[in-house]
Structure 1
Amino acid sequence: MEDLQSIKKAIDSLGHAELRSYLGFILAEIKRLRDQGGPTEDSITKLVELYDGLMGLQQQRGFWDPVPACTHVHIVIGDSFAGSMKYALKELGWAETHKVITLRENYAIGPLGELDSPEGRAARREWFRDHITDSFEDDVEVEEEYSMLVDKLTRIPEQAKIIVWTSSNACEQAGMRHAVHLLQSKRNTLTVCNACAICEELYNRPDARMEYRHSGEIPSDKLQEALRRIEDSSPLSHADLMRLVQEWQAISEQTSTLRIWREGAVLGVPADYYDSYLLDKLDKLNPPAGDHGFVKAARLIGEAIGYCEQYVGDSYFEYRLRELIYNGTLEIKGLPAAMRFYSVRRKQERQIGNLMG
């Protein structure tokens, strides 16, 4: 019975994307076993390794939670940067004393009103379900995740230095302000660090420059050097802390569902802000020969992401691409279940033959 409870707990800890990945792997191995007419040592070994990895996943995640003896707690925005941060801390040998808390929201998109209330989170989740195709979390899962976040923040010991990481994009800037808002009652030393700015200052030269759009793009070796510099950063004054809290309040009161970072501020912009940009990118792409002018949606979105100065995420561009299809600006070939399944082109005027005889 104890083993079954452990298995259930491990499964409950997975998100929908992880569940699909695990299930796909298991089904592929079962098919392989069936096709070969009996068990093979290779398949059995893989399934056992999968089981061991899944059962240890909860323990691995818990390892990064704040503990009474930790000296530093790093608050990061997004799973990609969280993975890089954890790897860099391990490489530095700091994993025992430096812990990580992740805010997983993409703060650049979707409503943020009353995000610290169940009603506000439900409204945000409803917007994602209506507009973002890869949004699968239900309200129960969202509430559990938020409770876990608050619990981790509460368990930060008083002696630990808190570093909130950000970068020059709306997602991480708004997320940083939300983190400061959630931490405002803590008595810890609180510092805000811009990982991308630190790395650009350290490594950019006149003949070789790299401008990062979000912290998840930073290679681990460069992130390690940024971590070595955190003690050089000054902690937030009470006035700065209160200013950031007030700025979060203002951001959360915006009615827009798209945000950009411009001139040191998170600005709300219309939902169709990038529509003309997407159409411009489409017009400049060369369609494959014989495909009647259609371009793969994934190719167009990849082009849009590659040249966009802001960090928004592919899911928002894909949402706007579908809106351009719905309003008749674009034509579609395929099914808009996911961007790899369909192609688009500009709406073509139908040729009407001369019926007069």
Structure 2
Amino acid sequence: MELRDILAIKKAIDSLGEGELKPYLRFILVKIKLMKEQEGTLETTVTELIELYDELMGLQEKRAVWYPVPACTHVHIVVGDSFAGSMKQALKGLGWAETHKLITLRENYAIGPLDGLDSPEGRKARSNWFRDNITEAFEAYTEFEEEYNELLDKLEQIPEQAEVIIWTSCNACEQTGMRHAIHLMRNKRNSISVCDACAVCEELYNRPDAFINYRHSGEIPADKIREALIHLDGKGKLCAPDITRLEWEWQEIMEQAGMLRIWRDSKVLEVPVDYYDQYLLEMLDKLKPPTDDNGFLKSARLIGEAIGYCEQYIGDSYFEYRLRELIYDGILEIKGVPAAMRFYSIRRKRRAESGPPVCSLIDESTQNSENTSP
């Protein structure tokens, strides 16, 4: 199989919403089980799996129906495939799919270099960083370029009469993505609104006795997004000074040389690359590994706990990257192969020469919370 085929398969899988993955996986596992038990003919099962493959690979063309068209009245710009999947379901549920179109920014803007992102050189530097540090980021630079050019093409297709709604929430990824979208639309004359999806849903649904505080829009189910769409009523419309300010803030973010960003005090702030190292080590110390595993803890469990208690939205891939760095630095020991978090376990290095302690840089905002996590 050639690299371009692997990349095409990965792109098809990444484009699936969270609710779409399980039915496909369930179907595949059932068919494999039938093959193992020799129930039904092998030829029939293979044919069905090939049909499923063709369907999945053709989903990209079906998704083209969400591209801006001349007659559309609204264009929604969202950050992340998970939120995009829920937004599509919400728009379909309201019967708005014909007039409301969708553009997805697929970047995790909280991590990796952003300097020069609007230039081929900057995009290549970002692609190289992900290739070198994030285990699942094996995409070629050419694919990164294709996605970026596709994004520009979609933005160019937005008709002048369409209202543009850029969705965001209180995290560095979506806040930075929102500013990037405004920068990319600087030559468009459309009306632009910014909507905080998490804040709207919390206002609509939270009660003193039952509430959810969302960290990113991808956590919101489609039915709640549908209600948020109904209650928009033209709120959040930006004036010219707002657009200028946000575009300038994007330029400031791009000038930062760091690889990690957080959202604090209504700003996207650059923090050191090892900002969460001490947090991960403290979390490791709190968790109890299985008694029969010589003190080793599955890295996937540690990362899951770290994500669950972290008030910032960073993504599991960055935590896994920092675990590997702690291993390389001699602070942690490893059992297994660090090809992906599910393949290895870790523990504190037990030799005295385990290296200097990692400086604590835990988010100040967490010191007043019930949790001791950033």
TM-score for the superposition, normalised by structure 1 = 0.89
Partner of 2:92: 90
1:204 to 187, 203, 206: 206
Return the offset for 1:51.
4.6
Q: Name the CA distance, whole Å, in 2 between partners of 1:188 and 1:313.
A: 32
Tell me what 2:262 maps to.
Answer: 260
5+ long unaligned stretches in structure 1: 1-8, 351-357
Check the 8 A contact 1:16/1:136 in 2, yes or no. Answer: no
Give the match for residue 303 of structure 2: 301
Tell me the distance in 1 between the aligned counterparts of 2:113 and 2:6.
29
1:18 aligns with 2:13: yes
Summarize deviations over 1:103-123 as a string: whole Å, max 9, x none.
000000000011111100000
Query: Any idea what SS the aligned residue of 1:231 has?
Result: coil
Q: Paired residues, what number?
A: 340
- Report what 2:164 is aligned to: 162
Q: Which residue of 1 aligns with 2:109?
A: 107
> What residue ranges of structure 2 are gaps of 5+ in the alignment?
15-20, 353-374
Structure 1 residues 10 and 237: alpha-carbon distance in aligned structure 2, compared to 1, 3 A threshold: farther
For the 8 Å contact 2:7–2:139, the answer to whether it is kept is no
What amino acid sits opposite 1:321 in the alignment?
L
Larger Rg: 1
Q: Give the Cα separation in 1 of the matches to 2:28 and 2:214.
A: 37
Q: Distance in 2 between matches of 1:194 and 1:225?
A: 13
TM superposition shift of 1:184: 1.3
Identity of aligned residues (%): 67
Q: So what's the TM-score if we normalise by structure 2?
A: 0.85
- In the alignment, the residues of structure 1 paired with residue 65 and residue 184 of structure 2 have an alpha-carbon distance, to the nearest angstrom, of 22
The one of 75, 78, 94 equivalent to 1:76 is 78
Note the 1:241-280 alignment, pairs <5 A.
241-280=243-282
Match of 2:118 in 1: 116
- Counterpart position of 1:135: 137
Report the Cα offset of residue 54 of structure 1.
3.5
Residue 330 (structure 2) pairs with residue 335 (structure 1): no
Q: Helix, strand or coil: the match of 2:233?
A: helix
CA apart distance, 1:207 = 0.9
- Rounded Cα–Cα distance in structure 2 between residues aligned with 1:17 and 1:135: 15
Distance (Å, rounded) in 2 between the aligned partners of 1:208 and 1:33? 47
- Residue in 2 aligned with 1:214? 216
Letter in 2 for 1:53: E
How far apart are the structure 2 equivalents of 1:203 and 1:37?
48
Q: Which amino acid aligns with 2:69?
A: V
Q: Deviations over 1:36-66 (max 9, x none)?
A: 5994475155235315513641331101000
1:88 partner letter:
A
Could you tell me which residue of structure 2 aligns to residue 320 of structure 1?
322
Determine helix, strand or coil for the equivalent of 2:107.
Answer: coil
C-alpha deviation, 1:16, in angstroms: 5.3
Give the aligned residue type for 2:10: G
Equivalent of residue 146 in structure 1, options 136, 144, 148:
148
Distance 1:234 1:298, change over 3 A: closer
Deviation per CA, 1:81-124: give whole Å up to 9, x if none.
Answer: 11111011111111111110000000000000111111000000
2: CA distance, partners of 1:169 / 1:12:
29
CA contact (8 A) 2:80 2:104 kept: yes
Local SS of the residue matching 2:292: coil
Name the SS of the counterpart of 2:293 in structure 1.
Answer: coil
Q: How far off its partner does 1:292 sit?
A: 1.1
Partner SS state of residue 125, structure 1: helix
Question: How far did residue 18 of structure 1 move?
Answer: 3.1
Alpha-carbon spacing, 1:343–1:136, altered in 2? closer, same or farther (3 Å)? same
Relative distance call for 1:95 and 1:260 in structure 2 (3 A) is: same
